[in-house]
Amino acid sequence: MCSSDLTADAALIGEPQSIHEPFESLPLVSRTGVSFLVRIYGTQGHSSVSDRIHMVNAIQKMDWVLDRMAREWRPSYPDHPLCPYGPTVNVGMLVRGGVSFGIYPGFAEFGVEVRTTPGMAQEDVRADAELFLRALSEEEADLKWEFVYNRDPALYTQPTVVPEDEPLVGHVLEAAEQVLGRRLPLTYFPGGTDAKEFQGVGGVPTLPGFGPGLLTVAHGPNEFVHLNALAPSAEVYALTAMSYLADRGERAR
C-alpha cells in the first residue's frame, strides 16, 4: 500500500527525538534533505610528467573547494520559530577520486548534505551552491566543477509541519506530562522520518518522532535504547490513544 492510499486522522511516529536525555521535547517539524555531489575535473595522464607540463590535480583542487565550502558556505533559508538553528549543513559526507599510482588524478568528488527546514526549496539550495562555486572559479582559473544531485530531484519533499492546534499535539503533551511529570517544549525533529510519506504524500497530520532512545546514537556503531525509557513511552502511547479516541468519539456525537 502506498502512503497516498492511507486514511487516518493523525499519526505518531515512535522515533527517538532527543539529543541529551529521553523525552526532551515534542517535535512538530520533520526536516528533509537535499544531498548533492560536487565533481572536480583535472588532467588525467601519466604522473611521471607532472613536473614537466602543466597538469591539474583534481584531488588537490577538490580538497581546496571542500575546505572553503565547509568553512564559508551556508544556504539561505526562511526563519521558522521551531527551527532556531536553521538547516544542518555537512560538507564532505563522502570523498572519491583518483585511479591508481602512476595516473595523475583527473577526477574527484565530494558529497554535501543539507537538512532542510520548512520553506526551503531544493532549487534554492542548488542556486546558492552554484553561486558559491562560481565565485571560487573566479579565484582559481583551473577550477572546473559540476553540481550533481545525489538522488532524483523529483523525490524531494518539503519538510512537514504539524500545527500546534492539531488535536493530537495536545493529547500527547497531556499524556507525557502525566507520565513524565513535566510539560514538554515544542521543537523540530533534526532528521527525516516517515512523516514525509504519511503527511507529505498522504496528507495525514504526523508527529515525526516521540519515542525512547537518543538520536545521537542513531547510525552509530552501537545503537541502544535505555530500558528505563521503554515503559514510559508505552504508557504515553496508551494514554494518548485512549484520550484521543475518546475525544474523537465525543466530537462525532
- pLDDT in tens for each of the 253 residues of the chain? 444 566 889 999 999 988 888 899 999 999 999 999 999 999 999 999 999 999 999 999 999 999 999 999 999 999 999 999 999 999 999 999 999 999 999 999 999 999 999 999 999 999 999 999 999 999 999 999 999 999 898 888 889 999 999 999 999 999 999 999 999 999 999 988 999 899 988 899 999 999 998 888 888 888 888 888 999 999 999 999 999 999 877 665 5
- Dist CA 244 CA 248 (whole Å): 6
The dihedrals phi and psi of 37, each to the nearest 5 degrees, come to -110, 140
- Which residue stretches of 36-186 are H helix? 58-72, 122-139, 167-180
Report whether 243 contacts 170 (CB < 8 A). no
174-234-22 Cα angle (round to 5): 75
Count of other CB atoms within 10 angstroms of residue 159: 26
Question: Which residues are registered as beta bridge partners of 18?
Answer: 214
| pLDDT of 154 | 84
Contacts of 97 (CB under 8 A, 6+ apart): 40, 58, 59, 62, 105, 107, 108, 109
The letter for the amino acid at 82 is L
Residue 232 in grid coordinates? 514510559
What predicted TM-score, i.e. pTM, was given to this entire model?
Answer: 0.88
- Dist CA 168 CA 161 (whole Å): 13
Which residue from 160, 179, 164, 162 is spatially nearest to 243, judged by alpha carbons?
A: 179
The letter for the amino acid at 178 is Q
DSSP state of 214: B
| pLDDT of 216 | 86
| pLDDT of 1 | 41
- Dist CA 5 CA 146 (whole Å): 39
How far are the Cα atoms of 51, 59, 62, 165 from residue 140, in angstroms, in the given order? 20, 15, 12, 53
